[in-house]
A and B are shown apart, each in its own frame.
Chain A
Amino acid sequence: SAVISQKPSRDICQRGTSLTIQCQVDSQVTMMFWYRQQPGQSLTLIATANQGSEATYESGFVIDKFPISRPNLTFSTLTVSNMSPEDSSIYLCSVETDSFYGYTFGSGTRLTVV
């Protein structure tokens, strides 16, 4: 299955600033997914990123707050903009596995906003 390199692994940021998270996949994939995992909770899908088109955002998430880039079939970025302490979470990127259905996840970015 695909191997995902996600960075940074963790960061502590000041409120009002922005952080860009990067995901690099070792093979070409059509769709990449970005999830948020708030403390002690499950994963919530933020958006689906297709190469060459605008990302599709889930209810409750907007492009101004979470802009996504997908410049090619192996790379994507998620930016958390104008951060507040409520944005403190683990952010994970994901792709579909080679064996169809089921997903491979990056190791996550643990974000703390102070």
Chain B
Amino acid sequence: AQSVTQLDSQVPVFEEAPVELRCNYSSSVSVYLFWYVQYPNQGLQLLLKYLSGSTLVKGINGFEAEFNKSQTSFHLRKPSVHISDTAEYFCAVSLNTGGFKTIFGAGTRLFVKA
């Protein structure tokens, strides 16, 4: 069965420090990979996606992610975080099974401290 694992439920980090939010997936079929951000009391916003091609994907707000097929990972990174990056981040996988059903990870809460 397909699954998405976000390895850290919470990540505290100081402002201007780098951050990495980890995501691993398992699937027997090809997948498309996504990161979403959810700010407090808001819906989800697409940060970036990997469909094919270059394994390094750049998204909005200075975030990037790298697809590693051998390690089945799609970790999200930012070289220097801001207070405003404090939010819940969700890794998601869409399965290439005709219906492109999306499975979400449990989420990682990023706390950026001054």
Contact = CB atoms under 8 A, between A and B. Distances in A.
Interface of A: 1, 4, 6, 41-45, 92, 94, 97, 101-108, 110
* A interface majority secondary structure: strand
Given A42-B90, A43-B90, A102 B104 contact: no
A41 B94 CA distance: 19
A102 B34 CA distance: 7
Given A101-B32, A101-B49, A101-B51, A45 B102 contact: yes
Main SS class of interface, B: strand
Range of interface residues on B (Cβ < 8 Å) = 20 to 34
A42 B46 contact: no
10 contacts: A1-B46, A41-B107, A44-B104, A45-B102, A94-B44, A101-B51, A105-B36, A107-B43, A108-B41, A108-B42
Contacts of B43: 4, 6, 92, 105-108
